[in-house]
Amino acid sequence: MDVAPAAVFALTPAWGLEKVLSFARKLREQSPVWARGHTRILTSIAAGEYAMHGATNYHSAMRLKEKNPANLGVALVEPVPTRLHEAQAVLGTATNPHTVLLWLEHMASPEVQRHLDEVEPLKSSIYAHVSALRKAVEGKKVSVAAWKWFYQREDIEKQIASAYGFPTADVK
């Protein structure tokens, strides 16, 4: 089993850093097979090479499940880790910030969220009332690594990788 540091990082708001690092150390103790990239490991699972993978992007796993419904099961384990992905924001010094705000409002509209579920399956927002993702997490505990966590992400992911026992390179 492999659990990506980015997804484990997203458990920090719900669990706190010490529990997240303890979880990472417990994963290491199980001698998992580590992989890089969701496509590679999901393809290996669909081919029967491995039995389990943790914390892949939900949309990636569900897209593969559509192609291999008999060979792949997907579950959302609570708390469901969520994080900023393809984040968009307004630059504070933007010449025309209202233009960007209109774009963000458009992206949040029910029409665009439905469209995202159709053309980019499961890349809509868990906050959009019409989204498939909102329905998927409905009634579940969700750990949201939102903007206030964003600046800590790199440091926490390094700590998780260290807890996994990964070697590091010092660049000078």
- Residue 171 DSSP code: -
- Tens digits of per-residue pLDDT, 122-136? 888 999 999 999 999
**Cα separation, 102 vs 8, whole angstroms:** 33
Check: CB of residue 55 under 8 Å from CB of residue 3.
Answer: yes
- Residue 81 DSSP code: E
Domain residues of the chain, as ranges? 5-164
- Tens digits of per-residue pLDDT, 41-52? 888 888 888 888
**pTM: predicted TM-score of the whole model, two decimal places:** 0.82
* Peptide bond connecting 79 to the previous residue in cis, omega within 30 degrees of 0: yes
